[in-house]
Amino acid sequence: MADSNITKRALASALRELMQEVPFDKIQVTHICERCDMNRKSFYYHFMDKYDLVNWIFDTEFITLAMEGANEMPSDDRWELIERVCKYFYENRDFYRKALKIKGQNSFSDHLQEYYFPLIKLRVARLISDDAAEDFTVNFFTDAVICTIERWLSDKECMPPVLLVSKLKRIVEGSAAAIYKEMNLT
């Protein structure tokens, strides 16, 4: 298993380097393999295609981030977790700006949607009744998260994660308080 991870990490590193030099759509599996002195057979043993490799990079780094966060912070501090996630994207923004531009089948944006959907579904189900956690509602919130991440990272003046989270917190908590107040007045 250790050799497998070494190979995957070498391929990931090669892809990251190439994405700094050329657009993703111009990168071929052959280029990735040449960059780390591997053959195509090794690549395809581990990944279906270059899109799968982009998604693997996110999955492994994000899972590591989530595991570290679970061990280090109280479970009720959701804003701290959100800030941590935003910090990760911010620190890797060059890579993710390019990854989020990938469109079509197997795009990173679609992968991100698939990743966040079940997490948001659980959260929505906890916050409101399970009946309200229907796909329409969850898709609404998932799309909001993905769109916000894409817009934020693609901005040339990408604001620091602390500022982004403070703005998000103000919007979310302010809106929730306003809705609560309005519902109690009627």
pLDDT digits (tens, 9 = 90+) for 42-79: 999 999 999 999 999 999 998 888 777 656 655 557 78
Token pair of 17, please?
A: 């380097």
The CATH code of domain 1-47 reads 1.10.10.60
pTM value is: 0.84
Rounded Cα distance, 88 and 73, in Å? 16
Which residues 6+ apart lie within 8 Å of 185 measured at CB? none
Q: How far is CA 184 from the centre of its chain?
A: 37
Cβ–Cβ under 8 Å, residues 133 and 121: yes
Q: Give yes or no for residue 156 having a pLDDT over 70.
A: yes
CA dihedral (157, 61, 14, 158) in degrees, to 10, reads 0
In this predicted structure, what is the pLDDT of residue 146? 92
Domain ranges, ordered by start, for the chain:
1-47, 50-185
